[in-house]
Amino acid sequence: MRIIFLLLALLVGLVIAVVAMINNEVVTVNYLFGQGSLTLFMLILGSAFAGAMFVGFLGIFRSIHNYMNSQGDRGHKKELERRVKLLEGEKEKLEAELGKQQKEREDAAAKAHGDLVDEKKKLEEELKKQQKEREDTAAKERD
């Protein structure tokens, strides 16, 4: 893209130079505070040079502006990267805490299940004991 722009600029410069060379008459130029005589050739080339300088300064200004914006963006990017690392660290801590709590919950559930199984066995034994006592009482009453 830069090559195309450079070639286009050279072509326009060549056209301006040819037009300036064709026009060699002396002209009077009126300024705000006076007037002067110049050849049309010098006036055309001077105007083209002044325009090129103006465009060049605008390009430099734009480059400086873009550089300053990119510096701000880099600072913002570094801040965001720092925050991402901080959040990733917090995420790892929370995941470890979650794993710990899940392990504790599983252990508590296993303990509760074991306690329920033990309680069930005790109740079954108590029930069998009571049934046996009833059978014994019923057998004594029949005798």
Asked if 40 and 25 touch (Cβ cutoff 8 Å), the reply is yes
Q: 43 and 21 in contact (C-beta within 8 Å)?
A: no
CB 20, CB 40: distance < 8 Å? yes
Q: Would you say the pTM of this structure is higher than 0.75? A: no
> Tens of pLDDT along 79-108?
999 999 999 999 999 999 999 999 999 999
Summarize pLDDT for 37-87 with one digit per residue, the tens: 988 888 888 888 999 899 899 999 999 988 888 888 888 889 999 999 999
